[in-house]
Amino acid sequence: MDGRRHAERSLKPLVAALAALGAGAAYPLGFAPFDFWPATVAAMAALCWLLCRPAARPFAYGWLFGVGKYGVGIHWIYVSIHVHGNAAPWLAATLVAVFVAAMALFHGAAAWGFARLCGGGGAWAALGFAAVWTLTEWLLTWFLTGFPWLFAGYAMLDTPLEALAPVGGVLLVSFAAALTGAGLALWRTWQAPALAALPWLGSFALAEVAWTTPGAAASAALVQGAVAQETKWRPASEKPIQARYAALSGPVWDADVVLWPEAAITTPLHRATPFLDAMAERASGALVLGLPIAERSPDGWTWHNGAVAVGDGGGRYVKRRLVPFGEYVPFASALRGLIDFFDLPMSRMEPGHPRQPLLRIGELRLAMSICYEIAFPELVRGAAARADVLATISNDTWFGASIGPLQHLQMARMRALENGRFLLRATNDGVTAIIDAQGQVTATLPRFERDVLRGEFQTMHGTTPFGRWGGVPWVAALMVVVAGLVAARAVRGWRRCRTGR
């Protein structure tokens, strides 16, 4: 009999642990390509409920939730390590598992902090859960260079909550989603669901507000070259790649802007001048393209991932936020040479200056982001308010036919919505798209096809509240909430000490 009771007692934590893991695995179903946002809200509700149970193991449940979330949501990293990094399957899987386990620590720490602050339930617990969740996402935008992937707000695109994005960015949308989940978890007290309903009511009120106004229309041609990654960086491929992009652009040189993807040509800028001059002569408007930029220094050559505008345009941009292990290798002296993944092409890049002039296309100003940079709200916002149109170029070939590039497009949509600007997205093999100022994709190309996307965009005037102030006011407000919860817990502890209860 005692053995049976012991088994029952030990089974409950196991069931709770499996529930946390399962909730985390369901969380990414709200993101592209699944787009089932209730799964994301329900997953957060399940985590909140587990953390508010008596005898909860908050760090373990939070960590297991994170393992499920990242294990399902970013498993596509395996493609770049195994297929393009030539790592053995077991080694690639091990590296992904280590990364997933490390990222899950953020959720473990957040869950532990929430449980310490907001034991039990009620409206304060719901508010505390949403505040801690959102501050964790904010931390992931900068801590250790950041990895701002799978933020809850992205799953809320195409729902009423997206109306909050121009006001406070993706983090405000995440807060609303987390508060909704917590309200569902703590439904036994009417205050929590009522509190969770407030962001939805606010979203309906903001749905018809136009924060920016359209100006002149312009034409764009986005070229998707579909160059195979395994041959792209071979010296013998330089001229064929140039010829491919020149041929694809032939019928669309009349566009106001022709946009080629990240590292469209592999010839560095100092050697590509004759080719670029030839393209500039053909273009009626501006040609904007990505390519390596090398600068000579006393210690040798410094390499950058950059973009330039030629023809009826001008300027250059150097990528500021680099991809760890893709464009630079931390602890390079120890890691280089161990496996091919630590010695990928373009893995010796240096970042550009934090503030750079905008590119010019005709009389318009274009704010550029290269690949990974589009995932950072504040990085894009810094230039967006000064720009007539946004652009991002990428080479998502690194992730093959996985869900990663579709999540990447989802982030680009959020940047357009946050800043009230059209966004042009040119990639090597998808997803190439034109996104309007409401974050809606107006035109796109099929993935893995060599083609050109023609379309129009509008310049936009004015600035959204997020474009003007960013997420700082909301992050500060959430810090005040957490500080208030800390103070309230301290007061409760002091009173218990005084009364002896």
The H-or-E segment that residue 454 falls in is: strand 451-461
Q: 388: pLDDT confidence band, cut at 50, 70 and 90?
A: very high
Matching residue, tokens 């002091």: 494
Q: 336: pLDDT confidence band, cut at 50, 70 and 90?
A: very low
Rounded to whole angstroms, how far apart are CA atoms 21 and 295?
A: 48
Number of H helices, E strands in the chain: 17, 13
The residues spanned by each domain of the chain are 2-209+471-499, 213-462
Rounded to whole angstroms, how far apart are CA atoms 436 and 417?
A: 8
pLDDT for 175-196, tens place per residue? 999 999 999 999 888 889 999 9
Rounded to whole angstroms, how far apart are CA atoms 235 and 219?
A: 34
Which three-class secondary structure string do you get for 339-378? CHHHHCCCCCECCCCCCCCCEEECCEEEEEEEHHHHHCHH
Rounded to whole angstroms, how far apart are CA atoms 215 and 375?
A: 27
DSSP string, 283-309: -SSEEEEEEEEEEEETTEEEEEEEEEE
Q: Active site includes 373?
A: no
Catalytic residue, candidates 262, 327, 373, 418 = 262
Rounded to whole angstroms, how far apart are CA atoms 100 and 20?
A: 15
Asked if 38 contacts 85 with a C-beta cutoff of 8 angstroms, the reply is no
Ranking 88-102, 107-121, 367-381, 400-414 by mean pLDDT, the lowest is: 107-121
Q: 340: pLDDT confidence band, cut at 50, 70 and 90?
A: low
Rounded to whole angstroms, how far apart are CA atoms 405 and 391?
A: 16
**Structure tokens of 393?**
């170029």
Q: 454: pLDDT confidence band, cut at 50, 70 and 90?
A: very high
Rounded to whole angstroms, how far apart are CA atoms 227 and 450?
A: 8
User: 143: closest CA among 94, 177, 105, 93?
Assistant: 105
pLDDT for 259-291, tens place per residue? 999 999 999 999 999 999 999 999 999 999 999
Q: Is the peptide bond before 446 cis (omega within 30 degrees of 0)?
A: no
Rounded to whole angstroms, how far apart are CA atoms 49 and 125?
A: 10
Phi-psi category of residue 209: left, alpha or beta, with phi > 0 → left and psi -120 to 50 → alpha: beta
Between helix 123-139 and helix 191-206 the angle, nearest 10°, is 50
The H-or-E segment that residue 271 falls in is: helix 269-282
Would you call 254 helix, strand, or coil by DSSP? coil
**pTM to 2 decimals?**
0.93
Report percent pLDDT > 70 for the chain.
Answer: 91
**Structure tokens of 126?**
């719901």
Q: 166: pLDDT confidence band, cut at 50, 70 and 90?
A: very high
Q: How does DSSP classify residue 84?
A: I
DSSP string, 192-218: HHHHHHHHHHHHHHHTT---SEEEEEE
Rounded to whole angstroms, how far apart are CA atoms 122 and 486?
A: 16
Asked if 96 contacts 75 with a C-beta cutoff of 8 angstroms, the reply is yes
Asked if 381 contacts 375 with a C-beta cutoff of 8 angstroms, the reply is no
**Structure tokens of 181?**
């989940």
Q: Active site includes 418?
A: no
Rounded to whole angstroms, how far apart are CA atoms 414 and 210?
A: 16
Which is more confident, 213 or 339? 213
Would you call 410 helix, strand, or coil by DSSP? helix
Rounded to whole angstroms, how far apart are CA atoms 345 and 327?
A: 8
- Options 3.30.70.890, 3.60.110.10, 3.40.630.30, 3.90.190.10; CATH for 213-462 is 3.60.110.10
Torsion (CA) 290, 295, 299, 304 in degrees, nearest 10: -20
Q: 1: pLDDT confidence band, cut at 50, 70 and 90?
A: very low
What residue type is assigned to position 351 of the chain?
Answer: P
Is residue 120 predicted with pLDDT exceeding 70? no
Average pLDDT over residues 21-40: 98
Q: What is the pLDDT of residue 84?
A: 73
Non-local CB neighbours of 486 within 8 Å, separated by 6+ positions: 117
Catalytic residue, candidates 118, 232, 319, 327 = 319
Q: What is the pLDDT of residue 345?
A: 60
* Neighbour-count burial of 205, counting CB atoms closer than 10 A to its CB (0-12 exposed, 13-18 middle, 19+ buried): exposed
Q: Which strands form 359-361's sheet, in the order they lie side by side?
A: 313-314, 359-361, 364-370, 389-394, 423-427, 433-435, 441-444
Is residue 457 predicted with pLDDT exceeding 80? yes
Q: Active site includes 12?
A: no
User: 51: closest CA among 134, 116, 127?
Assistant: 116
Mean pLDDT of the chain: 91
The H-or-E segment that residue 219 falls in is: strand 213-224
Report percent pLDDT > 90 for the chain.
Answer: 77
Rounded to whole angstroms, how far apart are CA atoms 44 and 110?
A: 13
Catalytic residue, candidates 52, 238, 371, 373 = 371
Would you call 329 helix, strand, or coil by DSSP? coil
Rounded to whole angstroms, how far apart are CA atoms 319 and 349?
A: 9
Q: What is the pLDDT of residue 13?
A: 85
pLDDT for 287-317, tens place per residue? 999 999 998 877 778 899 999 999 999 999 9
DSSP-derived pairing of the beta strands 213-224 and 300-311: unpaired
Q: What is the pLDDT of residue 25?
A: 98
